[in-house]
Amino acid sequence: MSTTAVSVPMPTIPRRRRSPEDIASAALVEGPRKVLLAAPRGYCAGVDRAVIAVEKALEHYGPPVYVRKQIVHNLHVVSTLEEKGAIFVEETDEVPEGALVIFSAHGVSPAVVQSAEDRGLQTIDATCPLVTKVHREAVRFAKDDFDILLIGHEGHEEVEGTAGEAPEHIQIVNGPEDVDKVEVRDPNKVIWLSQTTLSVDETMLTVNLLKERFPTLQDPPSDDICYATSNRQAAIKKIAPQAELVIVVGSANSSNSVRLVEVALEYGAKASYRVDFANQVDESWFEGISTVGVTSGASVPEVLVREVLSLLADYGYADVEEVVTAEEDILFSLPKELRATLKEKGDVSRGLGGRGARPAH
């Protein structure tokens, strides 16, 4: 039986860099240098809740605590939790019978829940409540015998979990290129749902194309793309036209982080790059650049952004202006299975997850 943790090594010694003087002489910058720092950025309430769930489980149950898939899509978060005793596995059959397993923030299908139950596993469901909402919509409309068009990236954990709620009713639509392939039983009984972390603009492009084919296509009862994804995209849309370069902090498997790079380029940034860590920033990007935009995906702790800002300051970008497009104060209760344990133990230190309620480490 395998209990091998996911390998996510932390960065070691940064490579040898060109000096600020070398960069300055390579391409002169007209005017002062500055950073436009997006707000909101970083941790959303669902991510915060999921990370706290693993930390609290380790604290009260002791290691090891097993987690199916990455709890959130961020290398630093996963590596930090591994150091504390979390073991990340791909499937529940890698977890010893009777052990504790936490389901990631991206959600799981009923088949995964059943598999855990069959193995006698203790479970904590850290699925983001906004993802759970989409699951419930899928169940509801499948029960009413709708064809459900799920806009999202095939193979993404969230999409697999949602599709697993009603596989006989759900078709995955990856994007505009898939619209012509869609087939439904009754064009008058079709609804679309979406992955929560998509590009708002691309999703609506796909929806509009679907409505050209199926004019009576119904919209979901409420927006499926989560508030955090929408807010982070809105912030970078405001910054991008003013920034020659946009740096997005986030991991390659973080859908919302990857989308931020695309949105930055679409809305006017001359260049945009995604990095996990500050030591992945290439100083040649700064040549001829006066304004740098900085943001981070919804699963990124603020410390990683601060390290990028520190690096930028070394290269003359010490003037940081925060561009605020929304205020976030959403909080989610911790998973019910964990709340019961915390109550029993008298632990009242953290019962909620959400923006503004978590230290930057």
Locate 353 and state its tokens. Answer: 């997850």
The span from the CA of 252 to the CA of 336, in Å, is 31
Query: What are the respective helix, strand and coil percentages of the chain, to the nearest 5?
Result: 40, 20, 40
Three-class secondary structure of residue 40 per DSSP: coil
Rg of the chain on CA atoms, in Å: 22
- Widest CA span in the chain: 67
Could you give the CA distance from residue 122 to residue 108 in angstroms, rounded to a whole number? 15
Region label for 156, one of left (φ > 0), alpha (ψ between -120 and 50) or beta (otherwise): beta
Could you tell me the CA-to-CA distances from 150 to 31, 194, 352 in Å, in that order?
48, 5, 30
**Single-letter amino acid code for the residue at 173:** V
Q: Is 266 a catalytic residue?
A: no
Q: Which residue, 162, 192, 157, 158, is CA-closest to 175?
A: 192
CA distance 104 to 68: 6
Q: How many CB atoms lie within 10 A of CB 178?
A: 17
What is the C-alpha to C-alpha distance for residues 29 and 49, in angstroms, rounded to an integer?
A: 43
Single out the catalytic residue among 82, 157, 158, 244: 158
DSSP letter (8 states) at residue 218: B
Task: Give 220's DSSP letter.
Answer: P
What is d(CA 358, CA 204) in angstroms, rounded to the nearest whole number? 33
Distances (CA, A) of 354 to 56, 133, 203, 333: 15, 17, 26, 9
Query: For residues 276 and 279, what is the distance between their CA atoms, to the nearest angstrom?
Result: 9
Q: Identify the bridge partners of residue 336 per DSSP, sorted by sequence position.
A: none
Active-site residues, by number, are 158
